[in-house]
Structure 1
Amino acid sequence: MNKSSHLAVPDCLRGVAAISVLLFHLNHWLGIAWLAPNAGIAVDFFFGLSGYVLCVAYRGRFDRGMSGALFARIRLIRLMPMIVIGTLLSASYLAARVILLHDADIHPGWLAAATLLGLSCIPVFGAPHAIGGPQVFPLNGPEYTLFLELVVNLFWMLTRRFDGMKFAFAVALAGYALTAVSGMGGDTPETFLSGFPRVFGPYYLGVLLYHGDVKFGLLSLRIWKSLFLPASVATVVIMAWNGQIPFVVQWLWAASVMPLLILGGSSVALVGPVRAVALVLGELSYPVYALHYPLFVWLNGIYQALMHRKDPLIEAALFVPLILLASYLIMRFVDTPARAVLVSRFGRSTVKPVLDSTAADTPV
């Protein structure tokens, strides 16, 4: 699928959302309380946009007879190389601590198990704090959202024969209703099950938006353009709000404001240099999201070894551009060639769309 001009703004939003998640985690990792304290809501935007964009990219191909196995292969080729790279980066950092610093808290058995399971995008339960526990993906905490993305992709593929407005509405309603009860989690053993309604609600809301556009021409309505700016401002205000916003605000944002970003962004066509910048941001979104934790542990470890102190503001100012640059270089020289090899191995004519980032590399 070629990048349509109406997907350039969602691409840009994807990139901005990925950077906001990076800032959100630097807040927690470095103790900078005012730095994007509520940007975790970007995860719900990723899920919603993924449902919409995957429909745009593959719904027609399913209708023309594309097999579920081919779709699964496309998704795995798109997502798994970065998952493998991120896991290996974190595992190598912990291994370096064992070898160079003789860190006795890092148990080699747990490290080996977490590495093997992380490479397969399989959750780990009970991992010790020394290797990243209690995160269910201790070597790369944000990977839990990629696991959930693969789960909902598989469900969408298996139920494609029932896919339609009524089915999407029912699943989205159930997802949001269960999220209202269970909360927005998924990254630890205690909150793991709550991650499933969290992904199914926004994802199928995105699917519902697609079917609504196909059936009623939603994107042709001018109202979305007028609502896009207020929705964007509201999102920035929530993400930057000083202090933890109430859960009900997060839930309402995911149910009402997030779809306005998708509809409004998809209603705006960009051209020229602005469009080019937007597409670059979209291209960077997945590597930044998938790699920001493993890159951080390496950068932070090196900084601490050299300086022997914590300088949160200096580290944040250094790490953000370095993580963006490293993510681009890894995407350009490792991920893209690896996916090209996989495409060649499985047949370029059958899985070519996997190299198109608009064909759903939305990370979380």
Structure 2
Amino acid sequence: MTEGSVVPASGSTVTGQESFGRHESMSAQPTVPDAHRFLTLDLLRGIAAISVLLVHIGYLGGYRWLAPLGYLAVDLFFMMSGLVIGYAYERKLLDGMRWCSFMAVRIARLYPALFLGALIGLGVQVWLHGTSGIGLHSLGQFFLVPDFTSPLLFPLNGVIWSLFLELIVNAAHAAAVRRLSTSRLAIVTIACGIAWAWIAGSTGNWGGGGNWSTLAGGFARIGWSYGAGLLLYRLIVAGRLRPPAFPAIWPIGATFFLLMTPRFGAMVPRIGATLFLLFPIVVLLATHARLLPAARRLARWLAALSYPLYAVHYPLLLVAADSIGARSGAAALWALTAAAIMLFATIAAYLYEAPARKWLRSRLRQPAGV
């Protein structure tokens, strides 16, 4: 997933124009979106998290028409993450921010939701299957150590794989930032996109990354999406892309359409167009979109909701699937389940995740970040 508050951290405003060929060339003042315009990305992140919830309800409840491309929200998360990390931290990293300091910020941002998701996953595992499969390999998942005994990287809570890859790519980005010129970034991003299109196209699995058998594809997947977001950031601050100030309803409506619209026509061309063309356009427009003041509170709530919702929803849905089964009135029960999970995620966001992030930052002695 992409970032918490996507407003650049204090002191992190990007103030240089990057030469396309030489990343270290910084001179002119770029146009940086203000905080209110970044709220559109917050809103998109919440929509994306809800679409993941819905697509999993579709799989578990038999409603395959429900948000059929919701799993592509993960790619949208990665793309927004690349752009936002660029805005908030690339200038700091180039100015001497230590790799360890950057990773401490990222761990403080991601770990509270990850821990809660793993804890709930452990409880659900015991509830549904007993303790026979629990061991050190299970406890390691709380510390992002994959389970080498399972086909899944993180069987306690399958969605943790994307947070795992996010931290790996964050680490690689920070380590290579001084050598990662925009031209090199473009080459790596395009290569990952080609690799991901080939892997997913040949296997028919565009949602890979969470299994050992699909992990290579997962790296290509995040390499394309995160790299594309970072490339958008580079081109915007270099003045090579000047996104128009569209009303926010356009990227919001496009996100709903791309993730939620039922199946129609040939799906592979639709998926390819979404990943490689339409998502970059949506993210680009969202960086400078005009969000009405009345929608800003909604955007802040969706931003707070997104990480906890993504992290906790799947194991809770497994409990619901075990309880609801094929009984009559299942659709209403699934709707109530979705509402209850969103309520729980909202409570967790404000009463657990935000205080936990603050505590972790204080322990790691890092300033608040995105």
TM-score, reference length from structure 2: 0.83
Distance 1:312 1:37, change over 3 A: farther
Task: Work out the CA distance in 1 between the residues paired with 2:74 and 2:358.
Answer: 28
- 2:88 is the alignment partner of 1:69: no
Paired residue for 1:14?
45
Task: Work out the CA distance in 2 between the residues paired with 1:251 and 1:314.
Answer: 34
- Which range moves more in the overlay, 239-248 or 50-59? 239-248
- Provide the alpha-carbon RMSD of the alignment: 2.5
Aligned residue identity for 2:341: I
1:168-219 Cα shifts (integer Å, max 9, x gaps)? 2011101101001111311222212110000011111111111101111524
- Which range moves more in the overlay, 333-342 or 18-27? 333-342
Paired residue for 1:323?
341
Paired residue for 1:37?
68
Match of 2:285 among 264, 273, 288: 264
SS at match of 2:246: helix
2:61–2:321 Cα contact (<8 Å) kept: no
1:15–1:284 Cα contact (<8 Å) kept: yes
Aligned residue identity for 1:331: A
Paired residue for 1:130?
none
SS at match of 2:161: helix
Instruction: Kindly state the Cα deviation for residue 300 of structure 1 after the two structures are TM-superposed.
Output: 4.4
Structure 2 residue ranges without an equivalent (≥5):
1-8, 11-33, 201-205
Q: How does 1:193-204 map to 2 (within 5 A)?
A: 193-204=216-227
Aligned residue identity for 2:330: P
Aligned residue identity for 2:91: G
Task: Work out the CA distance in 1 between the residues paired with 2:251 and 2:109.
Answer: 33
Q: How does 1:175-214 map to 2 (within 5 A)?
A: 175-183=192-200, 184=206, 185-214=208-237
1:262-313 Cα shifts (integer Å, max 9, x gaps)? 1111111325221121122122111111111123234445x45xx9947531
- 2:356 is the alignment partner of 1:335: no
- 2:270 is the alignment partner of 1:249: yes
The structure that is helix-richer by fraction is 1
- Which range moves more in the overlay, 159-168 or 203-212? 159-168
Taking every aligned residue pair, what percent have the same amino acid on both sides? Answer: 29
Task: Work out the CA distance in 2 between the residues paired with 1:227 and 1:176.
Answer: 27
1:31–1:312 Cα contact (<8 Å) kept: no
Instruction: Kindly state the Cα deviation for residue 126 of structure 1 after the two structures are TM-superposed.
Output: 4.3
SS at match of 1:177: helix
- 2:171 is the alignment partner of 1:140: no
Distance 1:62 1:265, change over 3 A: same
Distance 1:310 1:203, change over 3 A: farther
Task: Work out the CA distance in 2 between the residues paired with 1:111 and 1:245.
Answer: 42
Task: Work out the CA distance in 2 between the residues paired with 1:237 and 1:269.
Answer: 20
Instruction: Kindly state the Cα deviation for residue 227 of structure 1 after the two structures are TM-superposed.
Output: 11
TM-score, reference length from structure 1: 0.84
Match of 1:48 among 71, 79, 91: 79
Instruction: Kindly state the Cα deviation for residue 339 of structure 1 after the two structures are TM-superposed.
Output: 1.9
Q: How does 1:81-96 map to 2 (within 5 A)?
A: 81-96=112-127
Distance 1:277 1:107, change over 3 A: closer
Match of 1:58 among 60, 83, 89: 89
SS at match of 2:358: helix
Structure 1 residue ranges without an equivalent (≥5):
98-102, 128-133, 360-364
- 2:161 is the alignment partner of 1:118: no
SS at match of 1:162: coil
Match of 1:276 among 297, 305, 319: 297
How many residues are treated as equivalent by the alignment? 333
1:228–1:265 Cα contact (<8 Å) kept: no
Paired residue for 1:352?
367
